[in-house]
Amino acid sequence: MSTSPARFMRFPEVRRTSGYSKSRLYVLIANGQFPAPVKLGDRAVGWISTEIEEWVASRIAASRPAKSESTGGDGSTPQSKVPLPTSRRRSRFAEEASQMEAATRQPGQGAEAGEG
């Protein structure tokens, strides 16, 4: 994957590269979802740089749709395939607000009833 030779990465560099906290990295390692460190001495560990680079590449690949799905015939990304970010909290409160508004509205008092 990488043209650079393998080297050991110490924890601060691994953390910066992955973007995860120490506790999250060790949970991922325990679950086999992140490369395990190599023991370098009595109190030192390091990660093999090529394994970390491969992990980063796999995360990027997993977050991107396959080429055939993501592009149309003209190479553009179809709008229906690009989900917009949503907040569950915001959508839940918006739904509750519309339900409360509908419940407080009397029959015949809609926007149409006031016009005329």
Q: Is residue 103 part of a domain?
A: no
Residue 1's SS3 state is: coil
Give me the number of domains the chain comprises: 1
100 lies in some domain: no
| 98 located within any domain | no
Q: Which domain holds residue 17?
A: 8-65
Percentage of the chain modeled with pLDDT above 70: 55
- In a domain? residue 113: no
pLDDT tens-place string over residues 33-90 = 999 999 999 999 999 999 999 999 999 999 988 765 545 555 555 555 555 555 555 5
Residue 6 DSSP code: P
Is 61 part of any domain? Answer: yes
Per the domain annotation, does 25 fall within a domain?
Answer: yes
Residue 77 domain flag: no
Please provide residue 92's backbone torsions phi and psi, each rounded to the nearest 5 degrees.
Answer: -65, -45
pLDDT at 4: 78
Whether this model's pTM surpasses 0.85:
no
Question: 110: how many CB neighbours lie within 10 A of its CB?
Answer: 11
* Mean pLDDT, the chain, integer: 78
CA distance 57 to 82: 21
